[in-house]
Copies of this chain bind each other. A is one copy, B any other.
């Protein structure tokens, strides 16, 4: 009898992401990427004209919790080779938001027709990248259990402004029991490029969140009486901050619908 082949962990992830990427590229898959290909890094994407790139780069540098920078690409570069084989940022995200003059004007599955030679792509870390580590520690993630998008909220916590870029931090929220929350803090502290440790626990009103059941983005999840909300910095922050700046045009991923890369977290640095 032949023994089953001992598949390499990463190779099996790459096979999964390859077929998933095809169905995203074709427009078939346009859902939240939370929980997909656990183990591979997911990224928030910001695309803006080169004229704003320096200030936004500086903004990320000054706000690493909300905007942990994974990579920045050359003007006009849409193939993100450093993040994965054949990744085309114009087609390989399930859904994009297009902002004109600071207002979201369109949600699209493909931005090839909007591409400009002066576009600079920023890839920012995403908390979906540490969900796998939380699950491996035995923690159950509410929005994955209910098969929905993570809850995200605008807060009253200011970012450090740079030039035209200013605004408040957006957070993602996952409810846990107190003991699980402590574990989640310990674990996510090890993932600085995926927003790192939470910025807040419990008491949502302290960061300007009045109703947990009405997230600004994503879906609401039920919070058990024995659970407390745990809040992480979120890569939707740039969407708010760049909208505030009312620059003529920029494009992002749609909240919760990320770029899935070919990289393990350990390969980022």
Contact with A203, one of B178, B189, B197, B200 (Cβ below 8 angstroms) = B178
Question: What's the Cα separation between A202 and B228 when bound, in Å?
Answer: 8
Task: Give the residues from 92 to 113 in chain A that come closer than 8 angstroms, CB to CB, to chain B.
Answer: none
Report the minimum CB–CB distance from A135 to chain B (whole Å).
20
The yes or no answer to A156 lying at the interface (CB within 8 A) is: no
Contact B201 A226 (CB under 8 A): no
CB-CB under 8 A from A186, the residues of chain B are 185-186, 189, 197
CB-CB under 8 A from A203, the residues of chain B are 178, 226, 228
Contact A200 B228 (CB under 8 A): no
Report the minimum CB–CB distance from A125 to chain B (whole Å).
18
Report the minimum CB–CB distance from A116 to chain B (whole Å).
40
Contact B182 A198 (CB under 8 A): yes
Task: Kindly report which residue of chain B lies nearest to residue A205, judged by CB atoms.
Answer: B226
CB-CB under 8 A from A200, the residues of chain B are 178-179, 182
Report the minimum CB–CB distance from A169 to chain B (whole Å).
12
Report the minimum CB–CB distance from A201 to chain B (whole Å).
5
The yes or no answer to A206 lying at the interface (CB within 8 A) is: yes
Judged by DSSP, the binding face of A is mixed
Contact with A181, one of B179, B189, B201 (Cβ below 8 angstroms) = B201
The yes or no answer to A162 lying at the interface (CB within 8 A) is: no
CB-CB under 8 A from A177, the residues of chain B are 206
Q: Which of A178, A199, A201 has the most CB of B within 10 A?
A: A178
Q: Which of A179, A182, A226 has the most CB of B within 10 A?
A: A182
Contact B182 A206 (CB under 8 A): no
Question: What's the Cα separation between A203 and B201 when bound, in Å?
Answer: 12
Per-residue B-contact encoding for A190-215, CB less than 8 Å = 1, 0 else: 00000001111111001000000000
User: Residues on A close to B: CB < 8 A?
Assistant: 177-179, 181-182, 185-186, 189, 197-203, 206, 226, 228
Which 6 residue pairs of A and B lie closest in terms of their CB atoms, listed nearest first? A185-B185, A178-B201, A178-B200, A202-B202, A186-B189, A202-B228
